[in-house]
Structure 1
């Protein structure tokens, strides 16, 4: 019974970390206004409902993993390779947070990332918040570099419960567009050298050049995952949208005007499982201005195994939603 219980949660954690969700239990919302969801309640403890959720997610995950391989050669033996990510210099990205779920046997386990935009709000992907039950048992961990080093980083870490969250009302689940969400924490973050906010881009700006990906996502290019416990970074070139659209169309996938694509198309560098919700960052500005870090993208979806050739990484283009973010923060704060 104990072995079965652990297996269920192992599958659950693998599934909720996936960046390419093909099936979703969320239906389209009829209202065009943001829906604020409150977390917690009398039945928020993990119990039989969490057990049922794990079984459902496991069933979804099996089908998802079969579909998400897409163009990956079915009979090719994948050699043991790793993505060209590198450990970030500790605390040089103080706006990146780990979203972790409490499990009965492993404690807190990372499954998504997010970006601090002010002391109360975290920017992430909508698919990271697909399950209200998972969210209720999750926490935001800010100020951490090594997410396994709870003792050594105890003085740096700020942990917060998720009090409310808002997913974009047009997000339909899976690889659909509008994969953006905001998390609200009542107890504000305290900004210091370990925790700082990132800047939002101007509405409708179209970034060019390179961006830097940050996250604790899978670094394996094989079917066997390898999750680092220290924050990783990777420089990624921003792709021409028309080129990216043509490449993805070969796999029957559609790109939306609110998406952002990165390469390289030569393979070896990409987003991967558990990078979900994390940021793609560009530094601003000219030498005469105060330097800041702009979150230009949110990790949304990509192909598995990770790092294939001609397999762009797909982000939410944050500048398509800058006004939406400000509207949610302004309107939601008044009703909380």
Structure 2
């Protein structure tokens, strides 16, 4: 008995199946679209079709299917780099130097403009980790609308070229701007304006799983918070001082770890916790500032892996003032909460 296959279906399948299994990353599977429900159920959109190299929406088209995003990636997926790396505070970062950084875009209810105001860190292909006060309404005139990944210079964006997906090709893909479908704020968070500040942490679930590439990769979360290293990296698009505008180009710098008592004396009206928070900075003009809330406090381990040690929570009114350190949420303390939230 012979089975007839409509000629039009064959033509469409051949014409629009651009992906091959060789295009897939190690954490992806080469399957039919309908066999990848977390992508298929995201619904057809121009952004999704570009990310998965589709020119039309066909259930029987093969795609590179990433994990569903309900767990943290293995350390092998996270970024590694040479220990000889050095930073000069306050300088422009290189393109793709911090591929986990996520720019949070808000609707300004007063001007009706879309503007960046916070930062986050991509921790897997579906979730961005940031500060709770960035997404809980603390910024009353701003409403979170989208998340932008793969950004470096907000004044320019390269055109799309499919060959740039190959990490061996030294070219950049355009940034990826997508919506979100859920915000998960830690249940113990009471607001940054109150005396209890220890639980300033939240997750943003993206509308679709993203594919990793040179400019979009996750950062590892440490299982413990005991770092032999005394220096941390910071990066973001925030103000370069309290009087300036937001930076157009991603900036980075190096700050030193401080004892929690240093921050406690600086903010005597707030209760701080050494097990839940990190105190850092205050010994140079390098600092996080307005617009850097939610940005990562990073540490590079001896094997070259970069870890998300903390999340920018709050600091003094004068950015970069000598003797004025900032407070960061200690991510390792919230690893059980993060793992649980990924499965909600």
Kept in 2: contact 1:205–1:320 (CA 8 A)? no
User: TM-score by structure 1 length?
Assistant: 0.66
List per-residue Cα deviations over 1:72-124 (Å, max 9, x = no partner). Answer: xxxxxxxxxxx951111111100001001245867431100000000001000
Kept in 2: contact 1:135–1:162 (CA 8 A)? no
List per-residue Cα deviations over 1:132-189 (Å, max 9, x = no partner). Answer: 9978651010001012324568932111101101111111111511000001113111
Query: What is the rounded CA distance, in whole Å, between the counterparts of 1:274 and 1:184 in structure 2?
Result: 21
Higher relative contact order (CA closer than 8 Å, sequence separation 6+): 1
Kept in 1: contact 2:225–2:332 (CA 8 A)? yes
Offset of residue 207 of structure 1: 6.0
* Residue range with higher mean Cα deviation, 173-182 or 96-105: 96-105
Aligned-partner SS, 1:308 = coil
Offset of residue 234 of structure 1: 0.8
Kept in 1: contact 2:260–2:273 (CA 8 A)? no
Aligned in 2, Cα 1:163/1:226: closer, same or farther, shift over 3 Å?
A: same
In the TM superposition, 1:206-221 aligns within 5 A as 206=227, 208-220=229-241
Answer yes or no: is 1:116 the counterpart of 2:135. Answer: no
In the TM superposition, 1:74-89 aligns within 5 A as 84-89=89-94
Query: What is the rounded CA distance, in whole Å, between the counterparts of 1:325 and 1:165 in structure 2?
Result: 13
In structure 1, the gaps of 5 or more residues are 1-82
Offset of residue 193 of structure 1: 0.3
Offset of residue 197 of structure 1: 0.3
Match of 1:142 in 2: 149
List per-residue Cα deviations over 1:44-73 (Å, max 9, x = no partner). Answer: xxxxxxxxxxxxxxxxxxxxxxxxxxxxxx
Query: What is the rounded CA distance, in whole Å, between the counterparts of 1:246 and 1:148 in structure 2?
Result: 40
In structure 2, the gaps of 5 or more residues are 1-87, 161-171
Kept in 1: contact 2:225–2:309 (CA 8 A)? no
User: TM-score by structure 2 length?
Assistant: 0.64
Offset of residue 308 of structure 1: 1.6
Aligned in 2, Cα 1:244/1:113: closer, same or farther, shift over 3 Å?
A: same
Computing the radius of gyration from Cα coordinates, the structure with the larger value is: 2
The count of aligned residue pairs is 240
Aligned in 2, Cα 1:106/1:232: closer, same or farther, shift over 3 Å?
A: farther
